[in-house]
């Protein structure tokens, strides 16, 4: 009712034509000029004469005035909304639309969405979408190409964010009726909101309407619905939907399959799991880390030790990184088996634990392996040496380094680099250089990792000239510089206030196609304060 009255008012007094009255026009012009020249300051007083007779006509004239910069328009709009204690007029629906229209023309969609959220959350402003579009047409905003379509699409998302699903469905139906394009990403937002609120019937209903009215359906929207159905234990319905949509050309991806595999495992429906694995093979959908994690966990809980080992080895061979859960499952199973596996698998587990910041667990794993009679190789020793170096335990690290030689093996470049890096980071540069010289004597050429470790150590302890000399040596040898090397030298130069050299290397780094990280930017900024 309130909206109908508002529409009638605007039909009688169109705001985009000539001013409703001279006094209104003059007042709007005065406010506009004040905003342009002085901003909000003149208005921030309870006795401002400019605000005493403010009404909807005046504010709309101000908001639609192209001479008022958009940022000033937004500031004034927010000021009126937040200062109701001494501003008698609150921006009405037309005011909100005027600001939304200007934001649309400026392609500032995030702020446009924020203003529409105010409309959606205010019962005095919220109205049926048909009425809103009528008001747009009354204002002449529909002459701007795609404005109505964008407005409706964004309003659809806003209603999803605000959990106003009934209003959102009405917007969807309106867009279908008037053949307005519905963005599939907006539908994904709405589907996610429905799933989050456990409204799966409505979620499934929207998905069916998307299919019925030829809204673009992707595997992402399909997977959202399947996940929601699985969480409600409607696994058969989820599987049937997947097969139905596959027949229409929407093929499931690895996330879709993982969702169903997880659901079948929870139901202890092993036939269902095997069916999904068979379909993945038919569709040539490769396993990802989540698939392997699910299957390793499943086989582990079922006592299928050989399957766990097979899956883990396959995962490693494909270069897929495992998480701590996978390593824990494999650890437990292999310990039960009595370390009857090959050294490669055992080293992989230890190295994975180390990289996941579980050094004590990695160390325990390797030491237990040795105690159980499994002969360590260079990789095993190198992992342990790296852990001891990071702990600052160079006595134990050196002891293990010597044991490699006693065992009839030879340390490789990785072993030396681990030791050099450990010594360098602790300021033990003499020992680090001795190790580099030993490498050379054995015919192992120092690589970029060797030089980066040494360079980093010199930078940490303020020996920049030595670091620069190492950096130049890397260039002379033609070794490929990487992000870590550049970051170390730039950080070191910046720390000493040598900003000109640091920025020069930054330019060189970017020209080489390397992407600096936050540490580089932070270092460069700090160098300017020290210059």
Residue 380 has pLDDT above 70, yes or no: yes
* Domain span at 79: 1-144
DSSP string, 222-285: HHHHHHHHHHTT-HHHHHHHHHHHHHTT----HHHHHHHHHHHHHTT-HHHHHHHHHHHHHHTP
Residue 419, in any domain of the structure: no
- Give residue 431's pLDDT band: very low, low, confident or very high (50, 70, 90): very high
Cβ atoms of 28 and 62 within 8 Å: the answer is: yes
pLDDT category at 282 given cuts 50, 70, 90 is very high
Distances from the Cα of 479 to the Cα of 414, 448, 486, 514, 516, angstroms:
16, 6, 13, 15, 19
Which range has highest mean pLDDT (188-202, 365-379, 383-397)?
188-202
Cα 117 from Cα 258, distance rounded (Å): 36
pLDDT of res. 382: 86
Tokens 């299957």 belong to residue: 295
**Mean pLDDT: which of 181-190, 306-315, 516-525 is highest?**
181-190
Task: Note whether residue 75 is domain-resident.
Answer: yes
Q: pLDDT for 106-138, tens place per residue?
A: 999 999 999 999 999 999 899 999 999 999 998
- Select from 96, 111, 144 the last residue of a domain: 144
Residue 374 has pLDDT above 90, yes or no: no
Mean pLDDT taken over the chain:
86
Confidence class for position 47, pLDDT limits 50, 70, 90: low
pLDDT tens for residues 167-215?
999 999 999 999 999 999 999 999 999 999 999 999 999 999 999 999 9
Highest mean pLDDT among 50-64, 252-266, 321-335: 252-266
| Positive or negative torsion for Cα 438, 440, 443, 445 | positive
Give the CA distances from residue 61 to residues 54, 76, 135, 144, 264, in Å, rounded to whole numbers and listed in that order. Answer: 11, 13, 16, 19, 62
The reported pLDDT for the residue numbered 165 is 97
pLDDT, greater one: 81 or 112: 112
- Work out the average pLDDT over 277-300: 92
The pLDDT value recorded for residue 2 is 44
Write out pLDDT tens, residues 476-494: 999 999 999 999 999 999 8
| 177 three-class SS | helix
209 within some domain: no
Based on the structure, what is the number of domains in the chain? 2
The answer, yes or no, to whether residue 15 has pLDDT greater than 90, is: no
Instruction: Report the pLDDT value the prediction gives residue 9, as an integer from 0 to 100.
Output: 43
Q: How confident is the model at residue 23 (pLDDT cuts 50, 70, 90)?
A: confident
d(CA 15, CA 212): 40
Least confident range from 42-46, 331-335, 467-471: namely: 331-335
**Residue range 132-160, pLDDT digits in tens:** 999 999 888 888 889 999 999 999 999 99
Please give the Cα distance from 49 to 175 (Å, whole number): 45
Highest mean pLDDT, choosing among 87-96, 164-173, 327-336:
164-173
* pLDDT mean over 305-314: 83
Please say if the pLDDT value at position 36 is more than 80: yes
Give residue 372's pLDDT: 67
Are the beta carbons of 76 and 35 closer than 8 angstroms? yes
pLDDT at 531 over 60: no
Task: Please check whether residue 309 is in contact with residue 340, taking contact to mean a CB–CB distance below 8 angstroms.
Answer: no
pTM of the predicted model over 0.75: no
Using one digit for the tens of pLDDT, what is the confidence trace for 95-108? 999 999 999 999 99
Q: Is residue 400 part of a domain?
A: no
Mean pLDDT value across residues 504-530: 83
Query: Is 130 inside any structural domain?
Result: yes
Among residues 94, 93, 104, 96, the alpha carbon closest in space to that of 77 is found at 96
* CA dist., res. 319 & res. 286, Å (int): 13
Q: Please check whether residue 49 lies inside any domain of the structure.
A: yes
Residues 485 and 471: their CA atoms lie apart, in Å, by 8
* Dihedral, 105, 107, 110, 113 alpha carbons, nearest 10: 30
- CB-CB contact of 378 with 404 (8 Å): yes
Q: How sure is the predictor about 337, in pLDDT bands with cuts at 50, 70 and 90?
A: low
Run of H or E residues at 494: helix 483-495
The first and second tokens of residue 71, run together, are 């940022």
CB-CB contact of 256 with 283 (8 Å): no
* Mean pLDDT (whole number) for 238-265: 95
- 416 in any annotated domain: no
N residues, the chain: 531
From 369, 396, 424, give the residue that closes a domain.
369
Residue 444: count of CB within 10 angstroms of its CB: 18
Q: By the 8 A CB rule, do 144 and 101 touch?
A: yes
User: Residue 328: inside a domain, yes or no?
Assistant: yes
Choose among 304, 369, 306: nearest CA to 335.
369
Query: What tokens does 291 get?
Result: 């698939």
Single residue among 103, 123, 144 that ends a domain in this structure? 144
pLDDT confidence tier of residue 46, bands split at 50, 70 and 90: low
């Amino acid at each position: 009712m309130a909206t109908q009255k508002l529409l009638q008012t605007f039909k009688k007094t169109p705001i985009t034509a000539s001013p409703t009255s001279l006094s209104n026009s003059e007042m709007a012009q005065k406010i506009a000029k004040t905003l342009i020249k002085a901003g909000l300051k003149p208005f921030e007083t309870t006795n401002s004469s400019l605000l005493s007779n403010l009404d909807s006509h005046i504010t709309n004239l101000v908001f639609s005035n192209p001479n008022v910069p958009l940022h000033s328009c937004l500031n004034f709009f927010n000021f009126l909304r937040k200062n109701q204690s001494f501003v008698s007029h609150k921006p009405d629906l037309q005011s909100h639309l005027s600001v939304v229209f200007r934001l649309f023309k400026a392609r500032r969609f995030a702020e446009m969405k924020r203003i529409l959220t105010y409309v959606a959350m205010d019962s005095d402003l919220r109205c049926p979408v048909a009425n809103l579009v009528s008001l747009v047409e009354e204002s002449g905003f529909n002459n701007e190409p795609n404005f109505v379509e964008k407005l409706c699409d964004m309003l659809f998302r806003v209603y999803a964010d605000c959990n106003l699903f009934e209003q959102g469905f009405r917007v969807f139906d309106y867009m279908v009726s008037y053949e307005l394009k519905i963005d599939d990403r907006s539908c994904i937002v709405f589907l996610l909101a429905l799933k989050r609120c456990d409204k799966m019937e409505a979620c499934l209903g929207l998905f069916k309407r998307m299919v019925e009215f030829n809204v673009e359906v992707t595997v992402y929207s399909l997977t959202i619905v399947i996940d929601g159905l699985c969480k409600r234990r409607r696994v058969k319905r989820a599987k049937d939907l997947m097969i139905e949509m596959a027949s229409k050309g929407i093929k499931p991806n690895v996330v879709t399959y993982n969702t169903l595999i997880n659901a079948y495992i929870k139901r202890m429906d092993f036939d269902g799991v095997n069916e999904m694995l068979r379909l993945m093979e038919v569709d040539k959908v490769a396993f990802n880390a989540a698939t392997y994690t699910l299957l390793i966990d499943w086989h582990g809980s079922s006592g299928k030790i050989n399957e766990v080992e097979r899956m883990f080895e396959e995962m490693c061979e494909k270069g897929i990184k495992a998480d701590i859960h996978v390593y824990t499952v494999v650890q437990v199973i292999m310990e039960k088996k009595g370390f009857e596996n090959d050294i490669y698998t055992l080293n992989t587990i230890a190295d994975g634990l180390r990289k996941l910041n579980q050094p004590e667990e990695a160390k325990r794993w390797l030491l237990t392996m040795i105690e159980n009679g499994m002969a360590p190789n260079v990789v095993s020793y190198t992992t342990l040496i790296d852990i001891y170096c990071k702990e600052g335990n160079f006595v134990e690290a050196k002891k293990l380094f010597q044991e490699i030689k006693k065992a009839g093996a030879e340390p490789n470049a990785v072993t030396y680099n681990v030791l050099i890096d450990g010594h360098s980071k602790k300021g033990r540069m003499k020992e680090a250089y001795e190790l580099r010289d030993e490498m050379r004597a054995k015919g192992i050429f120092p690589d970029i990792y060797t030089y980066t470790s040494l360079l980093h150590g010199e930078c940490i302890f303020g020996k920049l000239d030595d670091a620069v000399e190492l950096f130049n040596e890397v260039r002379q040898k033609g070794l490929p510089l990487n992000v870590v090397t550049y970051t170390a030298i730039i950080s070191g130069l910046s720390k000493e206030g040598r900003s000109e050299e640091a920025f020069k290397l930054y330019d060189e780094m970017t020209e080489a196609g390397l992407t600096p990280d936050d540490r580089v930017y932070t270092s460069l900024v700090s160098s300017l304060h020290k210059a």
